[in-house]
Amino acid sequence: MRLRIFAALAALSVAALTGCGNGGAGGGTSTLRIMAPASPGGGWDQTSRTAEQALKSVDPGRSVEVYNVPGAGGTIGLAQLAGEKGNGDLLMTMGLVMVGAIEQNQSDVTLAETTPIAKLTEEYEIVVVPAESPLQSLQDLVDAWKADPAKVSVAGGSAGGTDHIVAGLMAKAAGIDPKQVNYIAHSGGGEALNALLGNKVTIGVSGVSEFAEHIKSGKLRALGVTSGERLPDVDAPTLKEGGLDVELANWRGFVAPAGLSDEDVTALTDLVTKMHDSQTWKDAVAKNGWIDAFMTGQEFTDYLRSEETRVKGIIAEMGLVS
């Protein structure tokens, strides 16, 4: 009798371990982890936590966990992802910022050591000043910048990222050497926002959604956006209207560790596609002013490679890499 009871308990234990282990993205009971490779409060963190809620809405039985690994434009998180080879229960949020940071930081680990899953959104950048700033327009900014480039400090995300690129392109368009830009890098939009609200920097550059709430509250004032045309619900001219020939959209997406099985790649892609098609995700995209730019499979892989080439050329031209 005791042997039969022991055998039954052992069988139950094995079944429990099998069901609760790393069952792959298609298992439905596994824990899917999403790494936001930056501090809380920025675009990657916001995208990750939005995805968490949307994933839970389409797969209530799955546990979804977001965690932060800040530093070096996401390349610290990228290195950690590389150490998770074959893990089909892990996604990392990334985007244009990481493409530039890999070049800027001369990272040993590149996106070639990941599995591209999906491009999710695009978002235009916005240039803001604290409410107390004497700068009332883009022309005021250009005049101050030309008078003394070192005195105009620019808060943004990681060095070599989208915000830095925008600042450099703005300076170049204004006739200022991009190498003279006094750029102060922050690990995430939350840190840059604090610098702005504390009047510690002259201007800030980030995604529209990261500053929108504080523009509406009157704590920040928008000087311009990087879109080709004015954006709805944003009371600011385009940079081109302000005399600076700059247009650029940031983008964000998901990659997974390298070495995944075909089944895990398919399962992750299908799961993210379901997330993208959910009403929860669609509502968040509209609320945040994001642009739906969904693509998966070989299309996203090819896009990622082309972006690496494009961004490398831009930041080399700006003198951000040797």
Residue 173: HSE in the Cβ half-sphere, 13 Å Cα cutoff: 20
pLDDT for residue 289 is more than 80: yes
C-alpha to C-alpha distance for 240 and 138, rounded to whole angstroms: 10
Q: Residue 2's pLDDT is what?
A: 40
Cβ(134)–Cβ(140) under 8 Å? yes
Q: Residue 188's pLDDT is what?
A: 64
Q: Mean pLDDT in the chain?
A: 89
Closest-CA residue to 86 (of 321, 268, 253)? 268
Q: Residue 7's pLDDT is what?
A: 40
Q: Residue 225's pLDDT is what?
A: 97
pLDDT for residue 290 is more than 60: yes
> Rounded to two decimals, what is the model's pTM?
0.80
pLDDT digits (tens, 9 = 90+) for 42-95: 889 999 999 999 999 999 999 999 999 998 889 999 999 999 999 999 999 999
- Say how many C-beta atoms besides its own lie within 10 A of residue 55's C-beta: 23
pLDDT digits (tens, 9 = 90+) for 200-212: 999 999 999 889 8
The residue behind tokens 């009403």 is 279
pLDDT for residue 277 is more than 60: yes
pLDDT digits (tens, 9 = 90+) for 159-213: 888 899 999 999 999 999 998 999 999 876 678 889 999 999 999 999 998 898 9
Cβ(234)–Cβ(222) under 8 Å? yes
pLDDT tier for residue 19 given thresholds of 50, 70 and 90: very low
pLDDT tier for residue 17 given thresholds of 50, 70 and 90: very low
pLDDT for residue 214 is more than 60: yes
Cβ(104)–Cβ(315) under 8 Å? yes
Q: Residue 29's pLDDT is what?
A: 52
Where do the DSSP E strands lie in 8-143? 31-36, 63-68, 90-95, 114-130
